[in-house]
């Protein structure tokens, strides 16, 4: 038994950059055919071209994950294009940070729509095929913020906490069909999203991390690869923190 995804078909959302890109690259390198999904066409095309250049099967797709009907249609198309869907990595996410005093309804609703409803939409669209095949892996990207909260991120924390609840509930419902559902909760990871932090905030985060370094998208993708493989066949309903010990 090994970290091989040979013969598997994987869908990765938010795959045009950062953690999602690295997950798509890792899955591909392990032998999976990958559907690279992103709201930005140029980003999806670029990652797909990188994967194709390495000789792997890949298709780029443009999608707003918050659009339920569009996600249903897209997953039907992916099933046709790739021959099925075995692995789903719900990674798409955004931030609209603001203190509660100033947070608008749109800022709250949009983060919930993309980060939480998007994961529901793709899970709903993909799991029936997995049930039929009696094999599946669903990996939801949560965040330590969903477990510890953070000032100025009530919307993001609520969405990521919701992801954890969705993960555990889906894991209980789908376990009898040999479908595992787990969440990965990154801490402070070096991505375009965290680059927006000012130097003082960045230094404060690093000071609070026992390993004293910022995590990388590769750190998160490696955990996702394990959860997608046969090595994790007895792991479900779990929240795996990849945070350098930030939250213990």
Could you say which of 61, 156, 188, 205 is catalytic?
156
Annotated catalytic, 188?
no
For the stretch 162-189, pLDDT in tens is: 999 999 999 999 999 999 999 999 999 9
Integer angstrom CA distances of residue 49 from 25, 164, 171, 175, 182: 11, 33, 34, 35, 29
Fold held by 9-188+216-242? Rossmann fold (3.40.50)
Gyration radius of the chain over CA positions: 17
Cβ 116 vs Cβ 159: under 8 Å: yes
For the stretch 41-72, pLDDT in tens is: 999 999 999 999 999 999 999 999 999 999 99
Q: Is the pLDDT of residue 202 over 90?
A: no
Cβ 34 vs Cβ 56: under 8 Å: yes
Phi and psi angles of residue 8, each rounded to the nearest 5 degrees, phi first: -95, 155
pTM passes above 0.85: yes
Residue ranges covered by each domain of the chain: 9-188+216-242
SS3 11: strand
């Amino acid at each position: 038994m090994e970290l091989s995804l040979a013969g598997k078909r994987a869908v990765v959302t938010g795959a045009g950059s950062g953690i999602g890109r690295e997950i798509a690259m890792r899955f591909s390198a392990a032998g999976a055919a990958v559907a690279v999904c992103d709201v930005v066409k140029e980003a999806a095309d670029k990652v797909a071209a990188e994967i194709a250049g390495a000789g792997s099967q890949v298709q780029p797709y443009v999608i707003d994950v918050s659009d339920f009907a569009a996600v249903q249609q897209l997953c039907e198309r992916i099933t046709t294009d790739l021959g099925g869907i075995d692995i789903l990595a719900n990674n798409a996410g955004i931030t609209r940070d603001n203190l509660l005093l100033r947070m608008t309804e749109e800022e709250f609703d949009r983060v919930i729509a993309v980060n939480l409803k998007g994961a529901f939409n793709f899970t709903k669209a993909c799991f029936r095929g997995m049930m039929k095949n009696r094999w599946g892996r669903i990996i939801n990207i949560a965040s330590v913020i969903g477990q510890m909260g953070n000032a100025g991120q009530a919307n993001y924390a609520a969405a990521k906490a919701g992801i954890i609840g969705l993960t555990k509930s889906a894991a209980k419902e789908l376990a009898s069909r040999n479908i595992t559902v787990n969440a990965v909760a990154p801490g402070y990871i070096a991505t375009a999203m965290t680059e927006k932090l000012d130097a003082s905030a960045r230094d404060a985060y690093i000071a609070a991390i026992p390993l004293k370094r910022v995590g990388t998208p590769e750190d998160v993708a490696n955990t996702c690869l394990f959860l997608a493989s046969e090595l994790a066949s007895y792991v479900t309903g779990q929240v795996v923190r990849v945070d350098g010990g930030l939250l213990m």
